[in-house]
Structure 1
Amino acid sequence: MAADASPSFISQSPEFHPEISVSPLTHDGLKFWQFMIAGSIAGSVEHMAMFPVDTLKTRMQVLGGGGGVGSCSVQSINVRRALGSILKLEGPAGLYRGIGAMGLGAGPAHAVYFSVYEWFKEVFSGGNSNNSAAHAVSGVFATVASDAVITPLDMVKQRLQLKSSPYKGIGDCVKRVLMEEGIGAFYASYRTTILMNAPFTAVHFATYEAAKRGLMEVSPESANDERLIVHATAGAAAGALAAALTTPLDVVKTQLQCQGVCGCDRFSSCSIRDVIRTIVTKDGYQGLMRGWIPRMLFHAPAAAICWSTYEASKTFFQQLDGSKDQ
């Protein structure tokens, strides 16, 4: 993130400065490729650490079809029962099906995500680190770019996560989807993903920057000593809030990515309205909030892990560059 604001910056109003021109090669004391590496490390650590919770969320979100957890109904399923069913029927390995696909996609996608975010944040904020609007808009640009990278592998990951998934692995899933459904199937949820992640990222980045700034102002004399705690706490708050607000669109995304597999509904189009109508008809409006608890349980610690890892990686590069200059 941007360096802490000086008093002269704090006194400025948070206005957009899109006319500001910055070099894409350096920002915040780091080069563009260093942001990419820091983001790649952060994204990989985040998703690998929290993958079992993501599997629970996926299973709970497809309960309207046949890809759910055991024989539990939509009304009775909860996180504990979902976890117990997976462990009983599939063992611990069932929580990690599809992790290879996420491993392949998380690094490149987050490299794009954070580097694009940092570049646009510098462009729009005009050096004002209090500019929440610039943080939000920069986050939207970041997610549009990164989702183009992660969506195909996210689809593969979610299909492998399903109960009794018919696919043997990543290669088998990619091959069969290409042959049976065409390349468009990999991007069937892209529009929904963008519509979900744009507000998610806007809320996430704006909340993170505001929470981080607020936490540092509470105890400025010890801010440097407690940077890890500050980044983790601000990240957790941002992740939890953004996850709760965007759960309905995440359910729609999961339905589109898993359609026709393991008894899940198949849709005649990728229309968000049609998917929502189908979910509401079958399960009521509560069906749109399926998996919201594991989604929050995923994104709160995941964001804490991601942001603290990302900021630590940035600090490492800043210190490395500083030692070279001496």
Structure 2
Amino acid sequence: MVDASAPPPVHDGLEFWQFMIAGSIAGSVEHMAMFPVDTLKTRMQAITSATKTSSLTLRQSLGSIVKFEGLGGLYRGIAAMGLGAGPAHAVYFSVYESCKKILAAGNPNSPIAHAASGVCATVASDAVLTPMDVVKQRLQLKGSPYKGVCDCVKRIMVEEGFGAFYASYRTTVVMNAPFTAVHFATYEAAKRGLMGVSGGGGEEEEEEESLVVHAAAGGVAGALAAAVTTPLDVVKTQLQCQGVCGCDRLSSSSILDVVGMIKKKDGYGGLMRGWVPRMLFHAPAAAICWSTYEAVKSFFH
């Protein structure tokens, strides 16, 4: 039986580059596996108020894409995410582990240290991922005018300038800071709780059990964090897709101004558009990401 009262090691004893590789692999696997669900979320959030958003369900959105665009429509923009997810998650996990080593030195079970480390990690990783996220979301839109990643990057640079790639960065950080704080604190707490109730066994059985624990804890953390931060994700999508495929061109990048515009046109329900696919994305995505990350760390050990 695992002793739940025994504190886990503050740091895993790996080198900085090993955390980067583990995080890069985990992030890439996570986003590639769940990309179709992310496409559905983007389509539901980017619809203008001229369309009856309240009547659009997840099933209708999926049916429309498959019918008119084929299965390939669910994967449009995946190359952009592939280019951004690896480097961003390498930064994400390496910064998290480094900050956790420093902040949790006196108390390895401190949820505050885990949350603060997560916030530091997301601020750094979002600076890497945001430009490719803009490209990815614009390619995911119905009737996207861009031929591919290179064409999208080139046209944004020429037509809107470099700043367009970071128009949503502030919103992304404001969204992902609480998302990551909730995510990491919930993950660490759930992992300790699940390890405390797991039973002992042979070495192979314990290894399999450990992967299940990481996946379950990651799934719980992802679902909770996704539900809490959906309104800000809607704001981010509006900022990144403005002026493309019928999405409104925004006069301000202020979060409060965009929230006010969404409320005026769609009511409070507009701020929760796409919450179902967002939760359906983040719960399994977090489970995949954390179990992959821990498995790669075990490999390095």
TM-score calculated relative to the size of structure 2: 0.95
Letter in 2 for 1:313: V
- Corresponding residue SS for 2:200: helix
Q: Does 1:293 align with 2:272?
A: no
- 1:142-157 matches, cutoff 5 A: 142-157=121-136
Describe the shift of the 1:85–1:225 C-alpha distance in structure 2 as closer, same or farther (beyond 3 A): closer
User: Take 2:208 and 2:250, find their aligned partners in 1: how far apart are those partners?
Assistant: 53
User: Take 2:106 and 2:296, find their aligned partners in 1: how far apart are those partners?
Assistant: 22
Describe the shift of the 1:229–1:127 C-alpha distance in structure 2 as closer, same or farther (beyond 3 A): farther
Q: Is the Cα–Cα contact under 8 Å of residues 49 and 266 in structure 2 kept in the other structure?
A: no
Q: Does 1:162 align with 2:156?
A: no
Letter in 2 for 1:143: T
- Paired residue for 1:18? none
Q: Is the Cα–Cα contact under 8 Å of residues 201 and 242 in structure 1 kept in the other structure?
A: yes
Q: Is the Cα–Cα contact under 8 Å of residues 243 and 249 in structure 2 kept in the other structure?
A: yes
Gaps of 5+ in 1: 11-21, 67-71, 319-326
Q: Does 1:210 align with 2:175?
A: no
Q: Is the Cα–Cα contact under 8 Å of residues 3 and 196 in structure 2 kept in the other structure?
A: no
Q: Does 1:308 align with 2:287?
A: no
**1:275-313 deviations in whole A, cap 9, x for unaligned?**
111111111110000000000000000000000000000
1:243 is displaced (CA, Å) by 0.1
Letter in 1 for 2:159: E
- Paired residue for 1:175? 154
User: Take 1:6 and 1:276, find their aligned partners in 2: how far apart are those partners?
Assistant: 44
Q: Does 1:97 align with 2:76?
A: yes
Q: Does 1:28 align with 2:12?
A: yes
User: Take 1:226 and 1:240, find their aligned partners in 2: how far apart are those partners?
Assistant: 21
- Corresponding residue SS for 1:280: helix
Q: Does 1:114 align with 2:120?
A: no
Q: Does 1:243 align with 2:230?
A: no
Q: Is the Cα–Cα contact under 8 Å of residues 65 and 265 in structure 1 kept in the other structure?
A: no
Select 2:38's aligned residue among 37, 51, 54: 54
- Paired residue for 2:28? 44
Q: Is the Cα–Cα contact under 8 Å of residues 159 and 258 in structure 1 kept in the other structure?
A: yes
- Corresponding residue SS for 2:55: coil
- Paired residue for 2:261? 278
Q: Is the Cα–Cα contact under 8 Å of residues 65 and 263 in structure 1 kept in the other structure?
A: no
1:219 is displaced (CA, Å) by 1.9
- Matched positions, count: 295
After the TM superposition, which of the residue ranges 212-221 and 143-152 deviates more from structure 2? 212-221
After the TM superposition, which of the residue ranges 120-129 and 100-109 deviates more from structure 2? 120-129
Q: Does 1:186 align with 2:169?
A: no
User: Take 1:73 and 1:303, find their aligned partners in 2: how far apart are those partners?
Assistant: 31
Select 2:237's aligned residue among 254, 259, 262: 254
- Paired residue for 1:323? none
After the TM superposition, which of the residue ranges 238-247 and 225-234 deviates more from structure 2? 225-234
1:225 is displaced (CA, Å) by 4.2
Q: Is the Cα–Cα contact under 8 Å of residues 65 and 264 in structure 1 kept in the other structure?
A: no
Letter in 2 for 1:34: Q
Letter in 1 for 2:18: Q
Q: Is the Cα–Cα contact under 8 Å of residues 48 and 246 in structure 2 kept in the other structure?
A: no
User: Take 1:6 and 1:251, find their aligned partners in 2: how far apart are those partners?
Assistant: 39
Select 2:65's aligned residue among 56, 72, 86: 86
Describe the shift of the 1:248–1:6 C-alpha distance in structure 2 as closer, same or farther (beyond 3 A): closer
1:273 is displaced (CA, Å) by 1.1
Q: Does 1:198 align with 2:177?
A: yes
Letter in 1 for 2:97: E
Q: Is the Cα–Cα contact under 8 Å of residues 23 and 93 in structure 2 kept in the other structure?
A: yes
User: Take 1:186 and 1:225, find their aligned partners in 2: how far apart are those partners?
Assistant: 42
User: Take 1:140 and 1:309, find their aligned partners in 2: how far apart are those partners?
Assistant: 21
Structure richer in helix, relative to its length: 2
**1:13-45 deviations in whole A, cap 9, x for unaligned?**
xxxxxxxxx9xxxx4121000000000000000
Gaps of 5+ in 2: none
